[in-house]
Amino acid sequence: MFKLPLKLEKSLENRKQQSAFRVLGNGQNLFDFSSNDYLGFSSSEEIFEKTAAILKKHKLERNGATGSRLLSGNHHLYTLAEDFLTAYHKVEAALIFNSGYDANIGFFSAVPQRGDFIFYDELVHASIRDGIKMSNAKSFNFRHNELESLKSRIKMVNPENADVFIVTESVFSMDGDTPDLKSLAEFSSEKNFFLIVDEAHGTGVFGEKGEGLVQQLRLEEQVFARINTFGKAIGCHGAAILGSNQLKDYLINFARSFIFTTALPPHSVATILAAYQHLEQTGRFQLQQLNKNISFFKEQVKKHNLETSFIASDSAIQSCIITGNAEVKAASEKLREEGFSVKPILSPTVPEGKERLRFCLHSFNSEEEIAKVLKFLR
């Protein structure tokens, strides 16, 4: 068996020395404060049974897609699911990708062109960053959630006669906070810039029916593209880029992560459709319970005088800063010993000194669980 090249061995050793070495964990019977399953959809028997019924009805009880969507993999469930997404999210068109990662690298590697400019919030997802690296456009970050920083960066570059793309998220995955989307949308519309919003952690969490923050704020007409992923609150797999019919046509022709990959199997697409139907019909009850739990969690944080340790957030992500990889890992382990799954977020995933425990809240967490975990944290 070949050994790793020496440089790679050293990289692994450095990770271990920094207490940042990653390993795959095993599922345990712990109180869940770590998964992205905000509404409990991933374990919904109703969605599971509805998915099976959809597959049977459309005679698509198959194990695989057999090819890319441009070859043999574009079964008609895609049309049903994308039409449903289009109506649900009040947009002209939706295009399903295999994952949020695929959607982001597909979009950013294909849409911004040489000579264009991309300005992105410094805390956007790794998948957005990776897509931007693959683009021929010039890119610049701006300070987190600071519109004036964005304006300053644009003035420094002065991108005349070029297309400008502004990128943010509706909910940031590490801090759980949200940008001033209204101001960003107004600024982008005024300057004829293209605003892109990643709704990964907003889908299923914001809006009357979990439509996301863009629709809650009624900004659909001012956003060029939305990336909505299904592996979090929707409880299944895949993602969609929402935008105009022209954008969909362009992505089908030029997004390499869409063109050159085997399509999702019928079961995955049927699950997306079943989960969205559930969200529309009865999911608002889980959404209401999630919002109650978020409010209760914040009340308990205040009760235990932990406010200065937590990043301000109204989302399902609540992060407690505990500086140092070793320290935050030790805190996570102590909570695990008490029966709670709360993941430590280490540097370099977050900046050094900003390590944290990330609490992911769910509709199925009880008030007793929330009160206990924060009592142990204190």
pLDDT tens digits, one per residue of 106-134: 999 999 999 999 999 999 999 999 999 99
Q: What is the pLDDT of residue 24?
A: 86
H-state helical runs in 147-265: 147-157, 181-191, 213-216, 245-254, 256-259
How is domain 284-377 classified at the CATH fold level? Aspartate Aminotransferase, domain 1 (3.90.1150)
| Residue found under tokens 């140092």 | 324
* pLDDT(172) > 90: yes
Q: What is the pLDDT of residue 356?
A: 96
Q: What is the mean pLDDT of residues 280-285?
A: 90
The crossing angle, in degrees rounded to 10, of helices 367-377 and 325-337 is: 130
Q: What is the mean pLDDT of residues 217-228?
A: 98
pTM over 0.75, yes/no: yes
Give yes or no for a contact between 239 and 102, defined as CB atoms under 8 angstroms apart: yes
DSSP label at residue 131: H
Range of lowest pLDDT (101-110, 130-139, 153-162): 153-162
- Structure tokens that stand for 185 in this block: 């949308």
Q: What is the pLDDT of residue 23?
A: 86
Q: What is the mean pLDDT of residues 224-239?
A: 98
- How are beta strands 194-198 and 225-229 bridged, if at all? parallel
Separation between Cα atoms, residue 28 and residue 24, nearest integer Å: 13
Domain boundaries, the chain: 45-281, 284-377
Amino acid at site 277: Q
**Using alpha carbons only, how large is the chain's radius of gyration in Å?**
21
* pLDDT(27) > 80: no
Q: What is the pLDDT of residue 93?
A: 98
Q: What is the mean pLDDT of residues 315-323?
A: 97
As a whole number of angstroms, the longest Cα–Cα distance in the chain is: 60
Nearest CA-CA partner of 347 in 334, 366, 328, 361: 328
Question: Confidence band (pLDDT; 50, 70, 90) for 3?
Answer: confident
CATH 3.40.718.10 fits 45-281, yes or no: no
pLDDT tens digits, one per residue of 291-314: 999 999 999 999 999 999 999 999
